[in-house]
Amino acid sequence: MMTCADVRDRLDALLEGRLAPEDAASILGHVATCAECREDLSAAEELRPLVASLSRHIEPPPELWGAIRRNLRSPERPDATRWSRRSVVFVLATAAIVLIALSSLITLEVVRRTGRSTRPAIAVVAWEADYRAAAADLHTELQRRRSQLPTSTILAVERDLAVIDSAISEAGRALSGEPNDTTLRRLLRSSHEQKLALLRRAVFLGPET
């Protein structure tokens, strides 16, 4: 015996033609004798084409993106945690120590290999240009936000950038003499990565504009 609850459960399936003929007949038999269910069926039938015609997109106010953008902060990244402003100086100082050690390592490599070869590091040029371009983009962004950053942060960033640039220069000079040396390449690439990481961190730490 079909109940009103049974009919309600299957009404949409009926309207979409998803019911077996005997089930559809049972529902229609009940509807013929039940004013409540007849009302529900009529309402669903009449609304169906209207609902289907509704747009799934309604344009938001054009100024909404600006409001959203002002509220965007650096997202949590899968490979990094968000850095607090208070910890940045400490972190950058630690990074500087690591970079000084890296620079010294490169210097040792340079001294050890001096005079071996004078071939240009052609293979390195392509990817190093990418690093330099990326660093330039980030540096531009950092300069744009410079006035909004604490002085201590700016000083820490500039000091570490100087250390990294020195390391990059040394590694580059060494590679110009040994363009196929994988250790030197790795050192150079690592220095560039360090520079980009520092710049990204500094940019993301800055206030959003």
Among 20, 32, 52, 111, binds other proteins (CB under 8 A): 52
How distant is the alpha carbon of residue 4 from its chain centre?
52
59 is a site residue for other proteins (CB under 8 A): yes
84 binds other proteins (CB under 8 A): no
The answer to whether 133 contacts other proteins (rule: CB under 8 A) is yes
- What's the CA gap between 53 and 96, in Å, rounded? 62
Looking at the DSSP bridge assignments, the partners of residue 77 are: 80
Q: Is 182 a residue that touches other proteins (CB under 8 A)?
A: no
Query: Contact between 22 and other proteins (CB under 8 A)?
Result: no
Nearest to 205 by CA among 131, 145, 161: 145
The residue type of 196 is L
Amino acid at 46: E
136 lines the binding site for other proteins (CB under 8 A): yes
Out of 20, 67, 111, 122, name the contact with other proteins by CB under 8 A.
Answer: 67
- Residue 158, interface with other proteins (CB under 8 A)? no
DSSP state of 148: G
Residue 35 touches other proteins, criterion: CB under 8 A:
no
Part of the chain binding other proteins (CB under 8 A), chosen from 45-53, 89-97, 104-112, 116-124: 45-53
Q: Does 86 bind other proteins (CB under 8 A)?
A: no
Piece of the chain touching other proteins by CB under 8 A; list 26-34, 73-81, 89-97, 143-151: 73-81
Nearer to other proteins, 30 or 200 (CB): 200
Residue 89: partners with Cβ closer than 8 Å, 6 or more residues away: 152, 153, 156
> What DSSP letter does each residue of 103-135 carry, written as one string?
HHHHHHHHHHHTTS-----HHHHHHHHHHHHHH
Tell me whether residue 56 or residue 118 sits nearer to other proteins (CB atom): 56
> 68 is written with which tokens?
């959203």
| Dist. CA 41–CA 35, nearest whole Å | 10
Binding footprint of other proteins on the chain (CB under 8 A) = 8-9, 39-40, 42-44, 46-47, 49-61, 64-65, 67-69, 71-79, 127, 129-138, 196-197, 200, 204
